[in-house]
């Protein structure tokens, strides 16, 4: 530590000046100067009117902490010299009684941390210089007002004296004098306030307010560096993944004043509209005010342009009308900055007695809709390339555009919050039972299915519902995964909601709702709201289509969707999916007539009886695949054979068991015995996937036959050959795939013979166990494709059940044990296993097609990794397809630029 | 395939002759000549009296199959030449009517496959040569008897005609003529039988029995090669892991006859007693008989030596007495062979008219007890080195010596068979409830605890029982693991046993037993036997101690034991453990008073209430550790902090819940709610290990305090410092270990202060998740030691719950998907993860201590791998410690010799 400290104190340039059309640094020096300092230097270089100043680099911040919160001695002469430079440019001098230089001292890190660190304004005033300022400006009221503002801020930031105590003095004084508003106070009043403020400081810290301007300056610099480690800043960094060792820079800049009369002003401008993306100046300003006044909200800001004035009900003059010359200069500056930075800029400016000063510029935050429009417009304007346009967007945020959202202006009673598991919002009648959901949907009613947790039995009901709410489970619980796949809004793990099935009630936030009451859920925020809320329907703009088209040009990986039904498949195609990467056949079995046949199969005692039961499923299953193949019209379709353990298809609980036993005409005891035999301690690690298929070859035969017969039928309808990709789940050893694969091949031969045709198909495997990754060299000999099942691979690599992890993953994130939910963003160890599998698989089969079909397929960070290991495709929920398309294009572009 | 076929047919030496003191090959050529052929060559080289012959190499077997079961043409001249050589040595000639050469045609692979492949004897006879043989031997009866034997065998092996049809003809003839036994038949009778046999062959195959001797010879050679792929042989190879492509050799050798009168004989001799290991010839013989007669068991064999004659009730003369000259020569040959092969030999010999011939030698199978004695004796005799003595033993078999066994001569009614989960046998009263087992044990009664499956709640009852029986679960189910740890005989997964708890009965094999009835279980074979069976207690011989001492000298790795109690620890020390590698603290909590406190902790609503409940556990837990440290007297002790999920400590089922609620004075509903909250879908992948310790730091504090206070106390008593090794289970990320480690360190500081002492201790982690292996480079920065938890690592690497795998692992083994139970012998993928972890851990901490403490620690094959990756120690059940000591020594020796 001390060595590193020494290193960072090695002789170096620590202070960087800017102003008068020159600067030591530029916009590229963000690491050293922080965002604010670098952009001030850049603006100065561009010849924009920037008050002169200098930036103390982030290296000094490191030195400050290495020295135990002490500023290095070598800094002083550098700061003094820079201060002299500023004086030379402004004509004023720090501490000059005749023409005192006033400065601001501001923080500025590599990454924006708005409001997290400290600032001191108007520094350079004491009992002498305040008089000089009064004389120089011929405005004693301004001088004393500025002095009292300084004392208050300095005392708060540097001396740690409660801000409220100063407010109290001011309020008392105003009450005493019968004043209502600050403007009513005159120079004498402010001078009196200054006296009282100084007295307060002396009482609080047992020494007078510092009159030594250099003491003030160094105190402020140290305070700003010190604020890097305040609790707020630390928490913010943790939340935003900003490293603690980056540190902040400190920028010291000559003050300019927007409160010097009606030809002075202060304001904020965006070079384009950050809400709509329209190419028009957008912002607001206040005449005769300082920046704080805009923020404080005491005065109503005025519109910037005449156009905005016309469009609004604001009856105050626009900046364009009030200060036309300054506006013209601002407009020019905005154009210059946007051209220079090639991005939307968010700019702070001040006009001091008619003269425009630029105080800050940075990339402007914008809505997703605006981001799209700006990117497309700028590319069309030739300001940026199409590649840059594609790269400029946050892929994750695209999701916002694809779902209905709550009207933000609507009033609402939020009952509770859960995890935002599947985006979008919906309103409907509460229902607690999946069958009832189906029933009510058939009557044309909108229902929200509320369950403690869901299981595959509930899938039909989930499909029937307009939204799903669970009180248990995490972001990758059954409910969450299925809902995302269906594009249904979903809130999970709402622990504060209590469902009482017996009485058919739901209680949350002290409110009790009954079955049939209306509730609204917001799957984008996790909110559960009483009653109906106005919605905004999603609308995909032309800009969206344009930009996605560009993305598709640049993208190397294919994007497929996880889709189990023709509806899902149609949705996926609408969102631009190029195929189906995962069709989970088990979801097809939960229709009433089918699950009965499946249960008969499970209860059968012999392979023959099992075959007979399965035969009744064949026509329906075949029809499923015909429909799917027809919708996909020749695009690749990967069908996964039955994966879940058989007990998932049997009823749970005495009542359900009795019902099913009656419906099936079997003995309750027999059914219970079979359920008992099939019970597993850890179903996730039990007899499922390949293990089930190896021991129940008749299931493989039925499913393969349905697939092949459907391929023949659909092929005829499409006048094109359908080449299904059949996927064997949960393989741990090559021999499992060989055994199941041989059954598939034998079925193909039989169908070929019966139909007098030849079939083309591929047999591949999910790679979803650590062992499968390590044995990929063997498995690859038998697999025509790999598809990473990253959900299960994450579960097994971590030894972590996604259904049980909800209980502690929150605490783990809080304690910094994990930085991302590994079920959302691929974990590095899981990634390493995938990389090993890809390498070993390709070693034995260089043209091996490798995809990913877990929940991670729609996560941009994961997609970057998939590009790195050169996967052929990723497959995700239909509603994530646009996100994946964009993220994949960005990944390709970034990998090329590396 | 065809290319490989061509390659194996490349010009090569395919036929290897032996005889008359010379041979083309020797004992080292087993791969080419098979075991039998190589050893015949070796014996010939040693100048022993071996009938001359030649071996067709295993390469020809490959060629035979590559050519579609056809012998290559190039073979014929080679065989003809070799046959001429044999003729030259014997003075006879194949097909010579005056002095016909008779040969045997036998299989012989690289690995012994006794009785699995075919043999043809007495080949070389037809209607002409049989007359020549009769004349030459002046013994027409012998000639025709030999001819009929040949026809019968040839028809069976080469022509595929049912053996029984020939027996029928013979029996019918004997009945017709009033004969009882074969010796009563004369030459004419046998000539008549030959006629009838030939007629049968002609009827069966619609052509006469082949008179062309070369046709006979080639038919026999092809038949022997063909028998490599018969069903029996294939099944045997699968069972014994013998590769299908090894193939068999064929040895053709001049016949000698032990049935040429009373100066002829045939027999088997072991160079030492294979049962006791005593250095004495051991074997039996028959006068005037062929080898088949010994095997057929129709005649009672006679003792070999005078000493054996004296010791037995057999009143027939010994070989030593009957044929003293042949005996003397045999004795000399035995000595020569043992000296040459430096191992116990199992030899077949024949005496033809007074002349001894050696027909086969091979390493003799022996009992474990004999193996020990022979190894130690041979080393003492200077025949082999101590290293060779250690290497000569099968470590796995050592286990037999350490447990009581059933008297093999006892009569018993076997009711059912389960899996042999923990070796040893015991008898006791059946009891179905763990508490009752404890209760009955307190009354001095021996009980066998019979359960469907066991859970941690049953541990006290398991300890109280003399044996454990479960009807579900596999070799690594809870019952199996705990029983092995305790050294209790245990049979698991006995699916044919039905337990009816309601009526207190157990039904198996059609027998119904009631609670209190006596049953015997044999944990070495899985047998469940009605009533009591006589036992043999284990007795560790002086040879055992000597050999284990030698092993300890050669061994690099330490051997520790998994021991949870002072009793376990004492047992481990008695078996030579050097420390405790795993003390599972949860097993300490199941005593009645403790589990109550633990349950109070689990039901507590606040950390404070949890602390209070835990405080009542502290004294008992401290006492546990004091006792353990004192028994171990300064040897290393690794204590694992609480691992299982909390719900394992709560009752299951309404009755138990009601009981516990009453005992605790809490509301049933509250208890049920808490059980509901703690329920996990996949407990194996849930909130346990480090995850539990991170969220319940008060558990860490209590356990660490108990450990440290015990270390202080025990240190005083031992006048030595106790340095506990504290192990954090189920770590997936460094931060988990850091958080728990900091709690441990803080507790240490507190205890140091209170006791005014300084503590020494280590904090390390189980490596039992794939992620922990891959992240070992980070985890190693914080861990002072790693201990591989291979049970859980296998479960997660395979995505396979050991409790659920029983249902299909059997089928997987049958189908060749797995070759070993991965929970017994380390899987290669799990091994690769361990290797990665070891490398990465050592990269950041070169002196990292790494051990293994899973069930695999007692498996010799796994130990070889542990030596390869240079682990510091393996830790296993106390009863496996001797096995591990020996296996580790062998691993060291083998790694050196590589």
Q: Residue B590, CB half-sphere, CA atoms under 13 Å: how many? A: 23
Residue B868 has pLDDT above 90, yes or no: yes
Contact A732 B800 (CB under 8 A): yes
Band of residue A678 on the pLDDT scale cut at 50, 70, 90: confident
Close Cβ partners of A320 (under 8 Å, ≥ 6 residues apart): A304, A305, A306, A309, A327
**Over residues B732-750, mean pLDDT:** 97
**Over residues B394-419, mean pLDDT:** 86
Residue B77 has pLDDT above 90, yes or no: yes
Residue B776 touches partner A, C-beta closer than 8 Å:
no
Cα dihedral B877, B878, B880, B881, rounded to 10, equals 120
Helix axes B213-226, B140-157, angle to 10 degrees: 50
User: What count of other Cβ atoms lies within 10 Å of the Cβ of residue B724?
Assistant: 24
**Over residues B691-699, mean pLDDT:** 95
pLDDT tens digits for range A435-454? 889 888 878 889 999 998 88
Residue B75: what pLDDT? Answer: 94
Give the residue from A751, A372, A692, A299 showing the smallest Cα distance to A550: A372
Residue A484: what pLDDT? Answer: 74
Taking the complete model, does pTM exceed 0.90, yes or no?
no
Residue B71 touches partner A, C-beta closer than 8 Å:
no
Residue B197: what pLDDT? Answer: 97
Alpha-carbon gap: B738 to the closest alpha carbon of chain A (Å): 10
Question: Of residues B78 and A814, which shows the higher confidence score?
Answer: B78
Distances in Å between the Cα of A489 and the Cα atoms of A414, A469, A470, A486, A524 are 16, 9, 12, 9, 8
Close Cβ partners of B137 (under 8 Å, ≥ 6 residues apart): B143, B260
Band of residue A296 on the pLDDT scale cut at 50, 70, 90: low
Give the residue from B405, B77, B64 showing the smallest Cα distance to B245: B64
Residue A615 has pLDDT above 80, yes or no: yes
Pair B770, A797: CB distance under 8 Å: yes
Beta bridge partners of B355: B352
Please give the structure tokens belonging to residue A290.
């300082």
Band of residue A880 on the pLDDT scale cut at 50, 70, 90: very high
Residue A2: what pLDDT? Answer: 39
Q: Are strands A248-254 and A265-270 parallel, antiparallel or unpaired?
A: unpaired
- Per 3-state DSSP, chain A is made up of helix, strand and coil in percentages (nearest 5) of 50, 15, 30
Residue A680 touches partner B, C-beta closer than 8 Å:
yes
User: What ipTM was reported for this prediction?
Assistant: 0.82
Q: Is B183 buried (19+), middle (13-18) or exposed (0-12) by CB count in 10 A?
A: exposed
Contact A804 B730 (CB under 8 A): no
Residue A695 touches partner B, C-beta closer than 8 Å:
yes
φ, ψ at B515 (rounded to 5°): -50, 130
Mapping DSSP to helix (H, G, I), strand (E, B) and coil, where does residue A32 land? helix
Residue A898: what pLDDT? Answer: 62
C-alpha span between B876 and B857 (Å, rounded):
5
φ, ψ at A559 (rounded to 5°): -115, 120
Residue B6 has pLDDT above 70, yes or no: no
What is the number of CB-based contacts under 8 A between chain A and chain B? 149
C-alpha span between B705 and A616 (Å, rounded):
64
Beta bridge partners of B726: B639, B763
Residue B376: what pLDDT? Answer: 97
- E-only strand ranges, B585-672: 637-640
| Window 740-769 of A, Cβ < 8 Å to B | 768-769
Distances in Å between the Cα of A69 and the Cα atoms of A63, A216, B838 are 8, 17, 42
Best residue of B653, B677, B681, B813 to probe chain A, by most A CBs closer than 10 Å = B681
Residue A10: what pLDDT? Answer: 47
C-alpha span between A861 and A880 (Å, rounded):
14
Helix (H) or strand (E) holding B382: none
Distances in Å between the Cα of A35 and the Cα atoms of A48, A63, A238, B200 are 17, 20, 19, 105
User: What count of other Cβ atoms lies within 10 Å of the Cβ of residue A634?
Assistant: 16
Give the residue from A117, A104, A19, A109 showing the smallest Cα distance to A59: A109
- Positive or negative, the CA dihedral A784, A786, A792, A798 is positive
Q: Residue A476, CB half-sphere, CA atoms under 13 Å: how many? A: 19
Residue A659: what pLDDT? Answer: 86
Find the range with the poorest average confidence among A131-140, B493-502, B622-631.
B493-502
- Taking phi first (over 0 means left), then psi (-120 to 50 degrees means alpha), and beta for anything else, what does residue B516 get? left
Residue A271 has pLDDT above 80, yes or no: yes
Cα dihedral A309, A311, A313, A316, rounded to 10, equals 0
Which position has the token pair 């035999």? A677
What's chain B's average pLDDT?
Answer: 91
Alpha-carbon gap: A782 to the closest alpha carbon of chain B (Å): 14
pLDDT tens digits for range A824-839? 899 999 999 999 999 9
Residue B606 has pLDDT above 90, yes or no: no
Q: Is B439 a catalytic residue?
A: no
Cα dihedral A357, A363, A367, A369, rounded to 10, equals 110
pLDDT tens digits for range B700-717? 999 999 999 999 999 999
Residue A32 has pLDDT above 90, yes or no: yes
C-alpha span between B310 and A539 (Å, rounded):
105
Alpha-carbon gap: A108 to the closest alpha carbon of chain B (Å): 31
C-alpha span between A257 and A272 (Å, rounded):
26
Q: Is B853 a catalytic residue?
A: yes
Band of residue A275 on the pLDDT scale cut at 50, 70, 90: confident
Residue B9: what pLDDT? Answer: 47
**Over residues B662-682, mean pLDDT:** 86
Of B685, B774, B818, nearest to A801 by CB-CB distance is: B685
pLDDT tens digits for range B307-355? 888 877 777 889 999 999 999 999 999 999 999 999 999 999 999 999 9
Residue A238 touches partner B, C-beta closer than 8 Å:
no
- E-only strand ranges, B159-300: 248-254, 265-270, 282-287
Residue A6: what pLDDT? Answer: 44
Q: Please give the span between the terminal C-alpha atoms of chain B, in angstroms, as a whole number.
A: 33
Residue B678: what pLDDT? Answer: 86
What's chain A's average pLDDT?
Answer: 91
Of A691, A732, A770, nearest to B770 by CB-CB distance is: A770
Residues on chain B touching A811 (C-beta within 8 angstroms)? 694-695
Of A774, A795, A817, nearest to B685 by CB-CB distance is: A795
Contact B682 A796 (CB under 8 A): no
User: What count of other Cβ atoms lies within 10 Å of the Cβ of residue A637?
Assistant: 27
Which segments of B119-180 does DSSP mark as H helices, in order? 129-137, 140-157, 163-177
C-alpha span between A685 and A707 (Å, rounded):
28
**Over residues B586-614, mean pLDDT:** 86
Pair B586, B643: CB distance under 8 Å: yes
C-alpha span between B779 and B784 (Å, rounded):
10
């Amino acid at each position: 530590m001390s060595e590193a400290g020494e290193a960072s104190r090695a002789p170096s340039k620590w202070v960087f000046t800017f102003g008068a059309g020159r600067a030591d640094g530029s916009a590229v020096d963000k690491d050293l100067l922080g965002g604010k300092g670098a952009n001030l230097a850049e603006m100065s270089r561009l010849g924009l009117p920037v008050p002169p100043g200098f930036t103390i680099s982030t290296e000094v911040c490191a030195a400050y902490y290495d020295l135990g919160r002490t500023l290095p001695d070598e800094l002083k002469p550098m700061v003094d010299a820079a201060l002299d430079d500023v004086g030379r440019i402004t004509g004023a001098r720090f501490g000059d009684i005749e023409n005192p230089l006033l400065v601001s001292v501001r923080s500025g890190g590599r990454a924006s941390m708005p409001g997290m660190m400290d600032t001191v304004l108007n520094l350079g005033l004491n009992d002498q210089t305040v008089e000089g300022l009064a004389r120089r400006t011929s405005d004693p009221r301004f001088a004393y007002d500025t002095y009292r503002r300084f004392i208050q801020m300095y005392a708060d930031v540097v001396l740690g004296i409660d801000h409220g105590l100063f407010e109290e003095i001011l309020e008392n004084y105003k009450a005493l004098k019968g004043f209502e508003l600050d403007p009513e106070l005159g120079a004498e009043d402010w001078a009196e306030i200054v006296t009282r403020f100084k007295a307060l400081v002396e009482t609080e810290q047992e020494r007078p307010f510092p009159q030594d301007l250099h003491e003030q300056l160094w105190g402020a610099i140290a305070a700003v560096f010190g604020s890097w480690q305040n609790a707020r800043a630390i928490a913010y960094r943790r939340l935003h993944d900003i490293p603690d060792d980056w540190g902040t820079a400190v920028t010291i800049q000559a003050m300019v004043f927007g409160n010097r009369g009606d030809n002075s002003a202060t304001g904020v401008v965006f070079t384009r509209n950050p809400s709509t993306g329209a190419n028009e100046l957008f912002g607001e300003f206040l005449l005769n005010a300082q920046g704080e006044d805009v923020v404080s909200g005491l005065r109503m800001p005025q519109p910037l342009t005449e156009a905005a004035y016309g469009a609004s009900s604001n009856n105050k003059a626009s900046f364009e009308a009030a200060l036309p010359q300054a506006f013209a200069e601002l407009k020019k500056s905005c154009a210059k900055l946007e051209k220079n930075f090639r991005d939307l800029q968010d700019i702070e400016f001040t006009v001091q007695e008619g003269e425009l000063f630029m105080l800050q510029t940075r990339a402007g935050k914008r809505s997703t809709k605006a981001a799209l429009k700006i990117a497309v417009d700028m590319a069309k304007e030739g300001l940026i390339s199409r590649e840059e346009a594609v790269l400029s967007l946050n892929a994750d945020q695209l999701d916002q555009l694809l779902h209905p959202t709550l009207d933000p202006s609507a009033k609402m009673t939020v009952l509770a919050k859960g995890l935002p598991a599947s985006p979008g919002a919906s309103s409907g009648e509460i229902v607690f039972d999946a069958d009832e959901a189906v029933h009510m949907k058939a009557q044309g009613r909108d229902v929200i299915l509320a369950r403690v947790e869901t299981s595959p039995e509930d899938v039909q009901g989930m499909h029937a519902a307009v939204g799903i709410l669970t009180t248990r489970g995490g972001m990758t619980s059954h409910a969450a995964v299925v809902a995302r796949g269906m594009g249904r809004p979903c809130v999970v793990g709402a622990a504060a909601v209590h469902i009482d099935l017996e009485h058919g009630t739901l209680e949350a936030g002290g409110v009790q709702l009954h079955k049939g009451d209306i509730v609204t859920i917001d799957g984008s925020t996790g909110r559960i709201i009483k009653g109906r809320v106005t919605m905004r329907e999603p609308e995909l703009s032309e800009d969206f289509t344009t930009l996605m088209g560009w993305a598709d040009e640049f993208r190397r990986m294919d994007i497929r969707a996880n889709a189990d039904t023709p509806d899902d498949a149609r949705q996926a195609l609408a969102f631009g999916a190029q195929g189906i990467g995962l069709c989970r056949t088990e979801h097809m079995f939960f229709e009433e007539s089918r699950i009965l046949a499946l249960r008969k199969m499970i209860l059968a005692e012999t392979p023959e009886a099992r075959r007979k039961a399965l035969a009744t499923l064949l026509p329906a299953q075949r029809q499923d695949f015909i429909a799917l193949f027809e919708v996909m019209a020749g695009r690749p379709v990967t069908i996964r054979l039955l994966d879940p353990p058989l007990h998932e298809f049997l009823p749970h609980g005495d009542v359900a068991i009795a019902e099913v036993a009656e419906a099936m005409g079997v003995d309750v005891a027999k059914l219970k015995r079979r359920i008992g035999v099939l019970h597993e301690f850890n179903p996730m690690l039990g007899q499922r996937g390949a293990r089930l298929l190896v021991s129940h070859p008749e299931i493989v035969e039925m499913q393969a036959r349905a697939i092949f017969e459907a391929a023949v039928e659909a092929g005829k309808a499409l006048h094109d050959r359908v080449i299904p990709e059949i996927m064997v789940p949960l393989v741990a050893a090559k021999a499992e795939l060989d055994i199941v694969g041989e059954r598939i091949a034998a079925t193909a031969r039989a169908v070929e013979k019966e139909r007098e045709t030849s079939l083309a198909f591929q047999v591949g495997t999910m790679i979803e166990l650590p062992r499968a990754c390590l044995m990929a060299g063997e498995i690859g000999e038998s697999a025509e494709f790999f598809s990473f099942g990253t959900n299960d691979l994450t579960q097994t690599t971590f030894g972590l059940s996604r259904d049980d992890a909800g209980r502690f993953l929150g605490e783990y994130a809080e304690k910094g044990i994990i930085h991302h939910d590994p079920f959302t963003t691929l974990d590095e160890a899981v990634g390493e296993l995938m990389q090993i599998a890809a390498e070993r698989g390709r070693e034995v089969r260089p043209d091996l097609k490798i995809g990913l079909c877990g929940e991670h397929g729609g996560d941009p960070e994961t997609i970057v990794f998939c590009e790195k290991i050169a996967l052929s495709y990723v497959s995700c929920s239909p509603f994530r397809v646009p996100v994946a398309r964009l993220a994949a294009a960005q990944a390709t572009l970034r990998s090329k630029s590396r």
